[in-house]
Amino acid sequence: MFSVRVEAEFAAAHFLSHYHGKCERLHGHNYRVRLWARGETLDEGGMLADFGVLKGALRDVTAQLDHSNLNDNPVFNNDPSAERIAHFIFKALEVALSSLQVDPALLWAVEVFETPTNMARYERG
């Protein structure tokens, strides 16, 4: 099995409505996002997927969130946790990759880091 990873970053604000503590107040993060692709077959050039294409798709998706208040996005149901952000990015990447003629089944996981030591991951089940 082959796997590849690309990363992107975005900055955004949020608060967690159903959390009791400092994260219930508006605050921001410089998020780091990792896209993992996985598969058993390489193309004729010996690649699982083009890094540039993957990184471009990831940047396009994270640009939708960059410099925003994530609570304004109804998909997060006013609780934009790292887990919900990872799921949102994963689903948006499936659509983006498909439109770029990249098999969306290659998308294996999305990791969202709120800090260098705190991360949530959504992966294909």
From 14, 29, 111, 114, the catalytic residue? 114
114 is catalytic: yes
67 is catalytic: yes
18 is catalytic: no
From 9, 24, 27, 67, the catalytic residue? 67
The amino acid present at 38, given as its one-letter code, is R
Strand partners, 31: 10
From 9, 23, 27, 123, the catalytic residue? 23
Give exposure, 48-85, as e/b (b: 16+ Cβ within 10 Å). Answer: bbeeebbeebbbebbeebeeeebbebeebeebbbbebb
One-character DSSP codes across 50-91: -HHHHHHHHHHHHHTTTTEEGGGSGGGTT---HHHHHHHHHH
Q: Which residues form the catalytic set?
A: 23, 67, 114
